Every structure is written in structure tokens, then in C-alpha cells.
Structure 1
Amino acid sequence: MSRAVEVKVSGEVQGVSFRWYAAQEAVRLELVGWIRNEPDGSVLGHFEGPTDAVEQMLAWCRDGSPSAHVSALAVRDVPLTDASDFRVDH
């Protein structure tokens, strides 16, 4: 079973290597998708792959990178895409 989610992570998540660490975790979990900073200071990510791996990624996002402070995590299921890798958008 595969799952795709869009995740909005709020708090101190920009300028603390959140995207880099998230990309490393997504690749480790063999997920595809993307992650980017948003103008409002949040980070938006799209993760897709096996349901259990997506759940592990969501658990990681609740804590974030070592210097991050996550105050909120909004998750919504979205349609699967034809993505073949994971990228950090700038």
C-alpha cells in the first residue's frame, strides 16, 4: 500500500537545516517527493511511498532537525504522483 501526504510544519523550522535533514530522512526511508520553505516561515513537504515509511516520516517531522522547534504539523492525504526521487526546492 502506498500513501502520499502534504505536510505543513510550523515553528522554528527555517534556518535550522530542517529541509536538509528531512531530505536525508526521506531518502533513507525510500520516499519520493519534495520539501520547500514557505513565505510564512513554515516548511511544506510532499512525501509518498509505502504507508509505513510515510508514517515514519511524519513521526520524524513532529520533532524535526536537531535545532528545529516544531509547534504544529498539518497533514493531509493527497493523490500519488509520478515522482521518482526526492528533492529540496529552493
Structure 2
Amino acid sequence: MLSYTCIVEGKVTGGNFQSWALSTAQRLNLKGWVRNVADHKAEILIQGDAKDFAVFRELLKTEAPIVDRGEITCNSLDYEKEYDKFEIRG
């Protein structure tokens, strides 16, 4: 399974960003999760088709509700666990 991780910097708290990530990933048939990891940062783990991930990544840069948008870093990775849905984590 192709897996990617993204770190998003900016004001991502308050629920709007995580809800956006959830609905966008579901629409693109991507699996994984999103969570806040630090003040003004979120982490996303995505699994799915490379073309669908490319669309998600572009939308992340252009449409995601992030106040004071900072750097968005995405990388592919080897990840053994396979998810069957996309979810919001704590």
C-alpha cells in the first residue's frame, strides 16, 4: 500500500482543518488519519492511489482551511499497517 505523511504548519486547530481533511480524503477514496501534533501543526497519514494523493496534496496547498499557512511537507514512507478508512485522531 502506498503511504504518505504530511506535516502541515499553520493554525489548524478548531476542527475545520481536520473536518476538511476527512471529507476530502473520503471523496478521493484515501485511507489513514489526521491529528494535531503540536501548537499550529497537524500530521496526516494517507494511503491510496498516487494520483489521488497528488490531488489531495494540491488541494491541501490551495483549499485547506489553514490560517497563517506555513510550510506543508509531504513524503512517501514504508508503513506496514493498512487502514480501511480515513479518520480524525485526537
TM-score bracket for the superposition, by shorter chain length = 0.7 to 0.9
CA drift of 1:85 comes to 0.7
Q: Provide the aligned length of Structure 1 versus Structure 2.
A: 87
Aligned to 1:25: 24
CA drift of 1:83 comes to 0.8
Give per-residue Cα distances to partners, 1:46-78, cap 9 Å, x unaligned.
01101100011111111312xx23211011111
- Report if the CA contact (8 A) 1:3-1:54 is conserved: no
CA drift of 1:14 comes to 1.6
Any stretches of 5+ residues in structure 2 without a counterpart? none
Q: Identity percentage over the alignment?
A: 20
| Alpha-carbon distance between aligned partners in 2 of 1:25 and 1:87, rounded to the nearest angstrom | 11
Q: Which has the larger strand fraction?
A: 1
- Report if the CA contact (8 A) 1:4-1:54 is conserved: no
TM-score under structure 2 normalisation? 0.86
State the superposition RMSD in angstroms: 1.5
Any stretches of 5+ residues in structure 1 without a counterpart? none
Aligned to 1:59: 58
Give per-residue Cα distances to partners, 1:5-29, cap 9 Å, x unaligned.
1000001222251010110000000
| Alpha-carbon distance between aligned partners in 2 of 1:71 and 1:53, rounded to the nearest angstrom | 23
TM-score under structure 1 normalisation? 0.86
| Alpha-carbon distance between aligned partners in 1 of 2:3 and 2:58, rounded to the nearest angstrom | 15
